[in-house]
């Protein structure tokens, strides 16, 4: 998620992201990943910070759980370290 401040030209940001994707060797993979992302226009710097902080906490929790699940699978012998 990209949190844009008031006055940011979201269309210009989308065009720049597209331009940079075109330069990548795995552009199609990047486009598929970005298709799940969002751009949110905040009404103020304070709102942008609040949105960013709220979403960051969700990502930390999500990745924390994913890491824990991987560790449990490693300990159970379901995965090996060479799987990574």
- Give pLDDT tens digits for 20-31: 999 999 999 999
d(CA 45, CA 65): 30
0.85 surpassed by pTM: no
Q: Range of 44's domain?
A: 2-83
Number of domains present in the structure of the chain: 1
Most confident of 21-25, 34-38, 65-69: 21-25
**Residue 60 scores a pLDDT above 80:** no
Residue 46 vs residues 1, 13, 31, 39, 53: alpha-carbon distances, Å = 17, 21, 30, 17, 11
């Amino acid at each position: 998620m990209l949190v844009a401040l008031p006055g940011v030209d979201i269309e210009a940001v989308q065009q720049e992201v597209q331009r940079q994707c075109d330069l990548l060797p795995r552009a199609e993979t990047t486009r598929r990943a970005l298709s799940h992302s969002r751009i949110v226009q905040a009404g103020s710097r304070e709102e942008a910070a609040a949105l960013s902080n709220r979403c960051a906490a969700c990502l930390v929790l999500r990745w924390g759980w994913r890491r824990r699940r991987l560790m449990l699978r490693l300990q159970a012998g379901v995965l090996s370290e060479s799987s990574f």
